[in-house]
Structure 1
């Protein structure tokens, strides 16, 4: 018989005790005695070794339950540092400090901030953290599971047995914790959670820094923060001081797993990708890359948008420090890195966040609020402080630990509207009876406020597909606080127009010009993203009408229109080489196409457009101001021609852009221009260097003192077929 009650023993042996620390470890039995208890189902005998004595005196423990519960009562008043010597039935011997002899690591203040939703670095407390406590090396584990009956750490260090390392819950915080000696970096683990219904769940660590390669999904103990020395100090300083709204931003959107492969069909690693991508992005003059989510995800086909490891860079391409190298190398080559971030929903994988402690913890209990009908995923409960804290700290984590320059937030509309993609009766109105998700709106505003406070100079970008007002307006002025917003309206209208047969375009000129009605309502990025070249939508080149030559001419024209239109730019990989196949995340891009003139010269056009864009303030400086744009003629429907002026802050920065959306050469085409002087032709998409027919204006034209289009001067030009041309104004010498 031991000193414990039978029901207390049974709770420990069955791993059902809510506070095993109150039983196990070292305790005062009375004024003259202490008791040490431990539980290990594989041990046949255990000895206590007193580490405070020179001889390391040993005390044999008594097995008080056949399930593996041991104790020893000692006649002494004071506690001492000790270690266990274990022996199993096969005479294997091992030793370890007692996990139940250590005090909690996480402070009451940290828990208070977490429960309040304001512990911005909670990832430094929750999760798995290798450390040394009182001379013992091991790993500290902590997890939030407020409705669990019991939580244990299981892993390769305890035979995945949930009885061995049962955790304690810290008051009413819902946080469970334990320090396990000898657990080291590289060990794999999960949390075993016993629910109130006595179901056993095996969950990956929501705060894990590293995760096994799919299809395995255990978390990996990893301390990467000191494994890499950053060299991007100059970049970060410049970033802080840059007004990105008045700078050129041309983004190359990339899916790392399918941009290029090696050895047939193997993934390249982060370091290989860094060098290859830097060479490509610099050669073709992009300013930034945007990478589809590299937060850990189990399914390749989700492209990273169904995240299970929010704090883990995917192990598909290497270790966390390899991704640090990737970002750092971009910065050393003056390339910004934008990361797709997915706070709108999460998948139902058994090891993930869903029903984490047997209840709807990260999501809503009501499926009308907590499930996304389109994607078969859960929706975060933004009104729950700890969930908000999880997401906010995650955003800050990528900006802080990985020096990310911007977060592009996926599917913002699905967060803002309670009835998003839902029919009547499938959604719950807010407290005012409306369709706005008030908790999500508050979360988004808080996210944008906090990220910009901590990291001035970073960008937050919304993919928001509705006309929600003030998406990129500061929170203080009633907006959501994003830096910029994807211009989905421009994308939809202009693609619908360019896909039409040129014969019928004259009936749909409004599709081309309507975007200028709202072009300055938000800080827009014009996007031709991955979403436009999948699921049967066809590649960019295959959207174009006409024969082979006309397809390329139309696409060149369309790209030149995009780069002249107000707004920053984004092109998805493959768009710039006119890939015929739709994007397939399982395959590399069709780089062999660059063996052909038509594709190689398309890429040359993109290079030149990026170069012109970066060199000419008129094309970027006033992207978000009506002062930077002026129509010349938007109404020539009969000829399907539009013309406008782009202007810089310096009044001498002027570019006139004209676009002919028919395959007809138009001679003696007159447009009004603002000033006398020479208009130098700086771009002609019909040039032979771009695989065009080489119709043009012999380098430029002088303005004539002939009024036209309400202006005092005009130029008489030749409009090439299916082409865009830019003229840059120069003073007469």
Structure 2
């Protein structure tokens, strides 16, 4: 070795590189100024020779360590030239490559500060693998958060998965390691090799990867740059912000929950863009809730367990195809929601668990899944960024947060907070920050809690000590109603309280009524499957009535796919919706009823505006447990609707209902119409409220109430008669008198005298006297014609006098 080269080298640093334990490989590898010239050092394990080439100059490099450490001096140069390496292969061929340590990786300082503070909403823009160009050279910048690692390397096909070759540089005190690798192309597979201070070697996938290895592999992949998608949904997003930005609880929301792969066998995102919006529009759904579409290695998890939070599954096509689907749904006026697993992740090889040799992403715990460590700022930035990624990259309109209970409560006997309680205060704080961030940055974006956690004020604003969510799934309603449905008629009477139980807490939150896949798929029976105790046609009829009840009940609507037309068997993993059932009349009629109910729901504000207001709902009959009938009123500023639901198999030709006020009640919808397969027992005419004591009311109506039916009546309140003031009465009387003939005055006086007592008679006499005087004057002035009129007047006066005398006699008898 040349003496000059020996003197300028840092041999302790060389040892760090050789043993792969350097957290700052750029400090020794690559070009460095010295008094002797530019020192270039490189590590090529397994190579016998290497040379450095710049311009037309080729400088042989000396192997200073048998492990493959090479170095050379470029004398006379004050700045490092733009050079490349030439490596000799075993077969004598040469390989030319760039030196990655000639390029200093850079990360945005402002974003790093936000990331460390738990305020980043775009961490994926600088973490992960990104195509870059530095110094005119194209390559990939890799960056990963691993603060407790001794050393991090990126390994892949491009370096024979050798962790000694490309060690990353620790970026200050950020806990992030980064490197720029020239020549790496899109599609390359990679992982991070992490060496802990315990000398343990870990292989981890990239938490921020935008692509993953196909066919079940655990490696990440460098994603190709995408052509910008031409979105056409600006009008929808503006309307979304207006409708759901401030009072989402007053809007009509009808959600269709769907495993996208089950809608049409083998259909791609592009094909679904043609068929799905048309179906949802026809059925009058306002939103579709998709099961997770992120990449996962566990098919049985249906996408709910993933470590690839920034990678869309490619099973149905590329990301551009999914954007096309969302664009088409928005064009049809349908919002797109997605289940979001931001609470748990799977404990799997190469995943987030024990990522850098410490509990970096997870809380302490055991089992096949881990709960996120919500108290760590960088974990919050990871999850905030993921939510914004879904919203901004794919125009998702909202998420349902899965497994809220694990975010808000510790497992029994596992952990306690600083006050000794079982509440996960960090989890609650994260959810509050999540809602504040989402509502600020994503106008009209909906946050729905899955309802698994009993936590007060979930949908109250954060300023009121709430979690700030828009809605919470009312799992108690779903469980109770499914239990009620599954009972025979006698059992329904015993469980009758389930029909009204939700009203005990209905107004504590803004609710969604979730007839979800968790209760209606795989090992759980469908709605039709729960009614096996009934003959087939009665099962269909009862479902129609049930759908009517849910439509009228306070709370936004959510229905799992296939229930609207009566799926018989639960949807299995890899299965598809059995639309062939629509070839049968009964299923087709049930679907028609579902469609009509959905349209009716959207057309009537009384069914949604007052969902969170006690004035929007009143029970009129919640005591007919033997009949299994329930009656209630739904109110809005513009209308009132009376709803009667009969869950029994008995028809009532006349069923009396108490009504809240005088007026008429007109049936405007019934699930028992013949077009839906019903009996057609209708209430064709408006029913006036009559005096009857029923349901603790003084007024009532008698309706025809078919078996297994839900009836909707429009209520028209009778306007009270206008009261006339004394002054107006006097003016009207004088006006009439001026137009009346004397004969009419006398007749009126006589009639009045006959009805009243002495006082009335006196008034009549005065009128009669005036009439006589008027008759005399008329006789003198008008001659024969006037005399005739006077004669008639005298006759009338005489008759009046007789009535007066009779009336006075009756008064004396009294």
Contact preservation (8 Å) 1:312, 1:320: no
Greater alpha carbon shift after TM alignment, 531-540 vs 397-406: 531-540
Pairwise CA distance, 1:335: 0.8
1:602 alignment counterpart:
590
Pairwise CA distance, 1:377: 0.5
Secondary structure of 1:543 counterpart: helix
- For residues 228 and 220 of structure 1, the distance between their equivalents in structure 2, rounded to whole angstroms, comes to 22
Moved over 6 A (4+): none
1:46 alignment counterpart:
50
The answer to whether structure 1 residue 17 and structure 2 residue 30 are counterparts is no
Secondary structure of 1:128 counterpart: strand
Contact preservation (8 Å) 1:49, 1:58: yes
Gaps of 5+ in 2: 720-814
Pairwise CA distance, 1:349: 1.1
- For residues 51 and 613 of structure 2, the distance between their equivalents in structure 1, rounded to whole angstroms, comes to 77
Contact preservation (8 Å) 1:257, 1:585: no
The answer to whether structure 1 residue 526 and structure 2 residue 527 are counterparts is no
1:27 alignment counterpart:
32
Contact preservation (8 Å) 1:676, 1:702: no
Q: For residues 441-486 of structure 1, what are the alpha-carbon distances to aligned partners after superposition, in whole Å with 9 as ceiling and x for unaligned?
A: 1001000110111012110000122432100011011100101100
- For residues 56 and 250 of structure 2, the distance between their equivalents in structure 1, rounded to whole angstroms, comes to 70
Pairwise CA distance, 1:132: 0.9
1:245 alignment counterpart:
249
Q: For residues 598-621 of structure 1, what are the alpha-carbon distances to aligned partners after superposition, in whole Å with 9 as ceiling and x for unaligned?
A: 212111111111100111111111
2:448 alignment counterpart:
461
Q: For residues 165-184 of structure 1, what are the alpha-carbon distances to aligned partners after superposition, in whole Å with 9 as ceiling and x for unaligned?
A: 11111122211000111112
> Equivalent of 1:417, from 409, 422, 427?
409
Contact preservation (8 Å) 2:144, 2:176: yes
Secondary structure of 2:480 counterpart: helix
- For residues 427 and 115 of structure 2, the distance between their equivalents in structure 1, rounded to whole angstroms, comes to 18
The answer to whether structure 1 residue 565 and structure 2 residue 553 are counterparts is yes
The answer to whether structure 1 residue 79 and structure 2 residue 83 are counterparts is no
Greater alpha carbon shift after TM alignment, 486-495 vs 72-81: 72-81
The answer to whether structure 1 residue 705 and structure 2 residue 710 are counterparts is no
1:119 alignment counterpart:
120
Pairwise CA distance, 1:159: 2.2
Greater alpha carbon shift after TM alignment, 439-448 vs 513-522: 513-522
- For residues 214 and 479 of structure 1, the distance between their equivalents in structure 2, rounded to whole angstroms, comes to 44
Q: For residues 299-343 of structure 1, what are the alpha-carbon distances to aligned partners after superposition, in whole Å with 9 as ceiling and x for unaligned?
A: 111011111101111122222222222222211221100111111
Q: For residues 482-508 of structure 1, what are the alpha-carbon distances to aligned partners after superposition, in whole Å with 9 as ceiling and x for unaligned?
A: 011001111111111121111232222
Contact preservation (8 Å) 2:108, 2:126: no
Secondary structure of 1:668 counterpart: strand
The answer to whether structure 1 residue 546 and structure 2 residue 546 are counterparts is no
Give matches, 1:158-173, under 5 Å: 158-173=159-174
- For residues 614 and 468 of structure 2, the distance between their equivalents in structure 1, rounded to whole angstroms, comes to 21
The verdict on how the C-alpha distance between 1:160 and 1:680 changes in structure 2, with shifts beyond 3 A counting, is farther
1:511 alignment counterpart:
498
2:399 alignment counterpart:
407
1:265 alignment counterpart:
none
Pairwise CA distance, 1:665: 0.5
Give matches, 1:89-108, under 5 Å: 89-108=90-109
Pairwise CA distance, 1:677: 4.9
Secondary structure of 1:706 counterpart: strand
Secondary structure of 1:261 counterpart: coil
> Equivalent of 1:692, from 653, 678, 685?
678
Give matches, 1:275-290, under 5 Å: 275-290=274-289
Greater alpha carbon shift after TM alignment, 102-111 vs 476-485: 102-111
2:41 alignment counterpart:
37
Pairwise CA distance, 1:46: 3.0
The answer to whether structure 1 residue 256 and structure 2 residue 260 are counterparts is yes
The answer to whether structure 1 residue 645 and structure 2 residue 633 are counterparts is yes
Greater alpha carbon shift after TM alignment, 676-685 vs 189-198: 676-685
Pairwise CA distance, 1:106: 0.7
Contact preservation (8 Å) 1:99, 1:179: yes
Secondary structure of 1:106 counterpart: coil
Greater alpha carbon shift after TM alignment, 457-466 vs 103-112: 103-112
Instruction: Say which structure, 1 or 2, has more relative contact order (CA 8 Å, 6+ apart).
Output: 1
Secondary structure of 1:646 counterpart: strand
Pairwise CA distance, 1:672: 2.5
Secondary structure of 1:315 counterpart: coil
1:381 alignment counterpart:
373
- For residues 224 and 286 of structure 1, the distance between their equivalents in structure 2, rounded to whole angstroms, comes to 35
2:489 alignment counterpart:
502
Contact preservation (8 Å) 2:191, 2:204: yes
Contact preservation (8 Å) 1:247, 1:621: yes
The alignment of Structure 1 onto Structure 2 pairs a total of residues equal to: 708
- For residues 207 and 637 of structure 2, the distance between their equivalents in structure 1, rounded to whole angstroms, comes to 48
The verdict on how the C-alpha distance between 1:592 and 1:535 changes in structure 2, with shifts beyond 3 A counting, is closer
Pairwise CA distance, 1:687: 2.3
Contact preservation (8 Å) 2:105, 2:141: no
The answer to whether structure 1 residue 142 and structure 2 residue 143 are counterparts is yes
The verdict on how the C-alpha distance between 1:324 and 1:177 changes in structure 2, with shifts beyond 3 A counting, is same
Give matches, 1:221-240, under 5 Å: 221-224=222-225, 226-240=227-241
Contact preservation (8 Å) 2:404, 2:453: no
- For residues 396 and 698 of structure 2, the distance between their equivalents in structure 1, rounded to whole angstroms, comes to 49
Give matches, 1:547-696, under 5 Å: 547-650=535-638, 653-696=639-682
Secondary structure of 1:388 counterpart: helix
Q: For residues 547-599 of structure 1, what are the alpha-carbon distances to aligned partners after superposition, in whole Å with 9 as ceiling and x for unaligned?
A: 22222222221111111001110001121121111121211122221111121
Report which of the two structures shows the higher radius of gyration computed on alpha carbons.
2
> Equivalent of 1:479, from 466, 472, 483?
466
Secondary structure of 2:186 counterpart: coil
- For residues 43 and 235 of structure 1, the distance between their equivalents in structure 2, rounded to whole angstroms, comes to 60
Pairwise CA distance, 1:225: 5.6
1:188 alignment counterpart:
189
RMSD: 2.0
- After TM superposition, the score normalised by the length of structure 1 is 0.93
Contact preservation (8 Å) 2:339, 2:401: yes
- For residues 91 and 271 of structure 1, the distance between their equivalents in structure 2, rounded to whole angstroms, comes to 50
Pairwise CA distance, 1:6: 5.1
Contact preservation (8 Å) 2:118, 2:380: yes
Contact preservation (8 Å) 2:129, 2:141: yes
The answer to whether structure 1 residue 326 and structure 2 residue 325 are counterparts is yes
Pairwise CA distance, 1:350: 0.3
The answer to whether structure 1 residue 216 and structure 2 residue 204 are counterparts is no
Gaps of 5+ in 1: 263-267
- For residues 689 and 13 of structure 1, the distance between their equivalents in structure 2, rounded to whole angstroms, comes to 81
Q: For residues 381-430 of structure 1, what are the alpha-carbon distances to aligned partners after superposition, in whole Å with 9 as ceiling and x for unaligned?
A: 111111111111111211122211001100111211113xx3xxx31211
Contact preservation (8 Å) 1:622, 1:649: no
- For residues 93 and 606 of structure 1, the distance between their equivalents in structure 2, rounded to whole angstroms, comes to 71
- For residues 548 and 595 of structure 2, the distance between their equivalents in structure 1, rounded to whole angstroms, comes to 12
Pairwise CA distance, 1:157: 2.0
- For residues 352 and 447 of structure 2, the distance between their equivalents in structure 1, rounded to whole angstroms, comes to 25
The answer to whether structure 1 residue 58 and structure 2 residue 46 are counterparts is no
- For residues 510 and 44 of structure 2, the distance between their equivalents in structure 1, rounded to whole angstroms, comes to 61
The verdict on how the C-alpha distance between 1:92 and 1:624 changes in structure 2, with shifts beyond 3 A counting, is farther
- For residues 143 and 312 of structure 1, the distance between their equivalents in structure 2, rounded to whole angstroms, comes to 16
Contact preservation (8 Å) 1:258, 1:584: no
- For residues 287 and 94 of structure 1, the distance between their equivalents in structure 2, rounded to whole angstroms, comes to 59
Pairwise CA distance, 1:351: 1.5
2:301 alignment counterpart:
302
Q: For residues 85-142 of structure 1, what are the alpha-carbon distances to aligned partners after superposition, in whole Å with 9 as ceiling and x for unaligned?
A: 3332234434333211112311344333222212221111111110111211111110
- For residues 536 and 316 of structure 2, the distance between their equivalents in structure 1, rounded to whole angstroms, comes to 38
- For residues 235 and 186 of structure 2, the distance between their equivalents in structure 1, rounded to whole angstroms, comes to 32
Q: For residues 342-367 of structure 1, what are the alpha-carbon distances to aligned partners after superposition, in whole Å with 9 as ceiling and x for unaligned?
A: 11111011021011112211112x32
